[in-house]
Structures are given as structure tokens and as C-alpha cells.
Amino acid sequence: MVSNGNQKRFRTEREPARPSQPQLGRSPGRFWWVVPFLLTTLAIVLSGQTLPIKEYPLSVVAGDITSGPDGALWFTTLNTIARITTSGVSTNYPLPGDGIPAQITLGPDGALWYTHPSNTGGTDRIGRITTSGAITEYPIPTPASGAEGITTGPDGALWFTEFSKNTIGRITTLGAFTEYIVPTPNAQPTEITAGPDGALWFTESGTGKIGRITTAGAFTEFLIPTSNSKPYGITAGPDGAIWFVEFFGGKVGRITPLGAITEYLVPTAQTQPCVSTGLGCLGKIKMGPDGALWFTESYHGKIGRITVAGIITEYTVSSANPVGITAGPDDAIWYTGSTPFVVGRIDISANLPMKALPQVAFGGGWYTALYFYNSNGTQASVGVTLWNSDGTPLTIPGATGPSTNLTLLGKGTRVLELPNSGGLRQGWAQLVLPTGVTSYGVFRQTVPGLQDQEAIVPISSTSSASSVLIFDDTAYTTAVAYANPSGASTAITITARDENGQQIGTSTVNLSPNTRTAVAVRSVIGLEGVVGKRGSLTFSASQGAVVVLGLRFNGAAFTSIPAVQN
């Protein structure tokens, strides 16, 4: 069923003040909507899993948390927005007026935006804080609205929920408001996220539904199969669906843009039912850099992870009540906890998809650029590390070391440039690309008196032990760069074959961890037979993996040769 919401612009009439701050434990509404799609499934559970966890103590309780554009984490606390670096150094920014800020998100303007409900039944606000701490707050037209969730929409505005007034709000970065009434009474809209379909999706904790609103204000609502589920956190997943958690239902849910719902029961919630204890189980959910969904298990002292295939893993943390959760700028999972008061970090580097570009060159006439695109609807963080050919760290120009993290907004792009400045430096790049993020490189050579030459170069996976590239060394010169991205030494055997598949040469090179070699193939002892021929080169690692890139030169002109990974 689709309906157009009743749009409210700058309401001026006074409404009765709301009661005390609403709680998620309030009675649900009646369930009378038809469920158009239904799929219930059992989750596969992995137990006994551990990951490195570090917690930073706080003096006050923390709430929601998000990754900022400055490489730090930002979170809400008692009438304060706080910032914490990835090394644990925190800074507090007190807010004007009363109330406790609820949710926080990165805005389209590079600032952090948050909801700031009043705790006295007064005017709620939408706040904006820059990374330097400058604060601006905008009063929401509807008094005592119960402002809760907030997210950046596909239209460049911020969208938020008004829990107490059954309304979805929109605010531009200039502070102009529009409000839309949710069709179902007492829906209690809670959290909100941008979906892959260009609409906004939100949880209705009062009626057990998932709501959808277009940027034009048209609503659709979908009933969750589990009764008294109290949906709370919601986020877009890497699979083109929307994922949510059920505060009382103890399940992680998945809904497609067409409304097909699948629910996965969380193991601890099965053995310790949420409703029977009177406490909610699941709070927040966000997509991690590993392509999985991470969620907090409130009152169970755990952080959960679920893959798009429904495999659930739970990790015990010291906080008995983890609250907020987000993917950090360092490709870790960060969370807040209230018993004790902490901000925690989970190192998931072992789970991250790694990529590599086995050749980078800058200075001495060469320039390299790495381009990134985030196809997700939410922000993502990309990690880049440069290595010298001998496996030692190679400092990134303009940075303080060999590594950097780039934050990409949903559907956003970034570029990392290694400029043609100073003497020639060569090595290779190791990349952490979250699911949904793609990349490629550009090489440019500048030779005095000649036109600059450029080539697009592909990024390779670091999980393959064998790669093949096709060469043509008749009127051209074939060069290759290959790297060992693993933590152990390996022997790389190169086998050359002609057009008929007959072996015409072989060579073996030992590579230590994180080292690479770049060379013209015809100059390698054992591979001289490629001269004047066409054929293939197979690179095989004795253990671990190998990443390979080919370049074909014709005088000053050159192009890349992509390797096929086996």
C-alpha cells in the first residue's frame, strides 16, 4: 500500500507538550496490515570467534557514534558532542540549551549533523557541528517532536525522525524544514537511512513496521512478521537491501526495495529472550568495511556480525550495554558502551578484502593516481599503504607515513595523487577496499619535448596464487611488476609460452614479504626467448599470493596489460 504523506511546512500552531522522553518499551499498536512478502530463515552461527578489542574509558555515558571526515570518530553524550581520535584522544563540545543529543551522522557538507531533543518538553533542534567545533542549531517547527534518527538523503538534505509526533522531517543544509506525517498512527519512527533505491527507509518501533518515504514525500509501509518486534536500528547493506534490528524481537531483518522480508534469530536472544527480561536486545546496525553488517546487543554485552548470507558471529565486550556502532576511518568497528562508559574498537583487519597495485611510481617524470568510487548508499573508508620494492614502508607524499585512510560519502569518489615531484620513487600499493568500493590507477609519464603519456591500470586481488598475462614482444617491449602481498616469503615461478602453448622459458625469483620486482621480461635470465614472439606469461607463487601487472611500451608510448588471476 502506498500513500502520500500529509506535508507540514513550518507549523506554527502549538501542540500539547509531550510526556516524558518516550521509551522503546511502550506498547505496540495493532497489527492489521497485510504482509506482502515473507521469508523466515535460521541463521548459521559461528561460536568461539575472537578479534582484538580495545576500549577507552569515558566519564559519562555515550550514545550514537559515526565516522567523521577528519579521520576521527564523533559521538553523542550528555548535552555534548564528543570527538575521539583513533588513538583514543577525546575532545568535548558542549551544546547550547537542554537535552541529550540522540543520533549523529556525517552531512553532505562535510559537517556532522545531530538530533537534539529537549528533555523538558520544549523545542527540539537539529544541530550542525564542524570538525573545528563550530555549532549551529535549528529549532524543529513541530514542538516536542522527539527528534531521534538522522541521515543524509540522496537529495543532499538531512532526513530525520520525529518519534513523538509520528513525523519524518527534512532539513536542508541552510536550515529549511519540511515535515511529513507517517500514515499509520503512533508509528513511533525511530531510525532512518538512505536506501539503494533513492528513497529513505525508517523503522516504526510502535507498530512493528519498516517505512519507506520518497524524497517527494510518498510513503510505503511493510509489516514485520514477528509481533512486538520493536524495530530500531536500520542501514543500507552491500547487497542492495536494507537491514534492521528488532529491539524486542531479537532478530536481524533484511528487506528488499520491493518489501520481501527475511529475519535471522540472534543466538543469544534465543537463549535470553528480550521480552521476558523486560529489556531490549538489539540496538544499532551499520555496514562494516568487510561487507558484513555489525550490530549492538544491548544488555547482552555483545557485538554481533551478520553476513549477507545470514552467518552470525557474536563477540563479547566488557560493556554490558553496547549502544552505538559504526565503521571507523581506520577500517575497524567502533562502538559505545554504557556499563561501564567506554568507546571501543574492534580490529577486523583479518576479515578485510585486500587489493593491490604492484607498481606505483612518482617523481623523476612519473605520476600515479588512485581513483575510488563508493557504490554504497552510506559512507565507506578506504585504506592505502605504500611499500618500497624492498618491503620497507614508502611515505605517501603529503602524509606523515606510508598509510592513509580516505573517507568516501555514499555514491562518492576520491582520488589519491602521487605527484611528479623530486626524484623517482617506486614501489607498490596495498589497498583495503570495503565491499561496494571499486578502484583503478592512472600512470602518467612526462618526457621533456614530448607529449605526456597516460595509461589506466587495474587493481588486483591479493588472494590469488597464480596469474596469467598475454604478451606481444614483437614490435613492443613487455615489462612486468609483481609483488608478494603476504606475510611470508615465497618463490615466484614465471613460465613463458608461445602462441601455440609451447614453453619457451622459465625463471624463479624469491620474494620476501611485502617486496616486489619490476623488470622488462626479455632481460630476465631464462626468459630471453620472448623476444620477437607473442604468447603468455604465468606467475605462480609457491605459497601465499602474487599480484601482477603488465605494461607494453612502444617508444615513449605505453599501455597496461591486465593479468588474469587463477
Residue 449 has pLDDT above 60, yes or no: yes
**Cα 382 → chain centroid:** 9
Residue 278 has pLDDT above 60, yes or no: no
Average pLDDT of span 463-484: 95
Residue 4: which pLDDT band, with cuts at 50, 70 and 90?
very low
The pLDDT tens digits for 335-368 are: 998 878 999 999 987 777 789 999 999 999 999 9
Burial of 271 (0-12, 13-18, 19+ CB in 10 A): exposed
Average pLDDT of span 196-208: 96
Among the ranges given (246-250, 253-257, 486-490), the one the predictor scored with the smallest mean pLDDT: 486-490
Task: Say which residue the cell 552461527 belongs to.
Answer: 45
The more confident residue out of 131 and 30 is: 131
The more confident residue out of 471 and 267 is: 471
CA distance 321 to 335: 11
Per-state percent for the chain, helix, strand, coil, to nearest 5: 5, 50, 45
The pLDDT tens digits for 85-109 are: 999 999 999 999 888 899 999 999 9
Average pLDDT of span 396-413: 86
Number of Cβ within 10 Å of residue 386's Cβ equals 25
Among the ranges given (379-383, 461-465, 495-499, 516-520), the one the predictor scored with the smallest mean pLDDT: 379-383
Residue 330: which pLDDT band, with cuts at 50, 70 and 90?
confident
Cα atoms in the Cβ-side hemisphere of radius 13 Å centred on 393: 11
Among the ranges given (373-377, 467-471, 519-523), the one the predictor scored with the smallest mean pLDDT: 373-377
Among the ranges given (163-172, 296-305, 507-516), the one the predictor scored with the smallest mean pLDDT: 296-305
328 closest CA partner among 349, 305, 297: 349
Number of Cβ within 10 Å of residue 95's Cβ equals 22
The pLDDT tens digits for 42-77 are: 343 444 457 889 999 998 889 999 999 888 999 999
The pLDDT tens digits for 212-245 are: 999 999 999 999 999 999 999 999 988 889 999 9
Cβ(355)–Cβ(462) below 8 Å? yes
What does the mean pLDDT of the chain come to? 87
Burial 324-333 (b: 16+ CB within 10 A, else e): bbbbbbbbbb
Backbone angles phi, psi at 530, to 5 degrees: -75, -20
369 closest CA partner among 421, 407, 417, 424: 417
Average pLDDT of span 29-48: 33
Question: For residue 311, what are the contacts with CB-CB under 8 A and spacing of at least 6?
Answer: 43, 44, 45, 46
The DSSP result for 42-64, as a single string, is PPEEE-S----EEEEE-SS-EEE
> What is the tally of helices (H) and strands (E) in the chain?
2, 50
CA distance 506 to 523: 12
Q: Kindly calculate the radius of gyration of the chain based on its CA atoms and give it in whole angstroms.
A: 27
CA distance 5 to 182: 6
Burial of 397 (0-12, 13-18, 19+ CB in 10 A): middle
- Range list of β-strands (E), 433-476: 437-445, 453-458, 460-461, 466-472
Question: For residue 132, what are the contacts with CB-CB under 8 A and spacing of at least 6?
Answer: none
Q: 258 in the Ramachandran plot: left (φ > 0), alpha (ψ -120 to 50) or beta?
A: alpha
Residue 411 grid cell? 555514491
Cβ(198)–Cβ(377) below 8 Å? no
Which helix or strand (DSSP H or E) is residue 549 part of? strand 547-554
Residue 461 has pLDDT above 80, yes or no: yes
pLDDT at 9: 32
Burial 359-378 (b: 16+ CB within 10 A, else e): bbbbbeebbbbbbbebbbbb
243 closest CA partner among 299, 314, 293, 298: 293
CA distance 43 to 267: 8
Residue 560 has pLDDT above 90, yes or no: yes
418 closest CA partner among 446, 399, 440, 437: 399
pLDDT > 90: percent of the chain: 66
- Range list of β-strands (E), 195-300: 200-204, 209-213, 218-223, 231-236, 242-246, 251-255, 261-265, 282-287, 293-297
Average pLDDT of span 431-437: 86
**532 forms bridges with which residues in the sheet?**
none
What strand order describes the sheet that includes 104-106?
A: 104-106, 112-116, 125-129, 135-139
Residue 319: which pLDDT band, with cuts at 50, 70 and 90?
confident
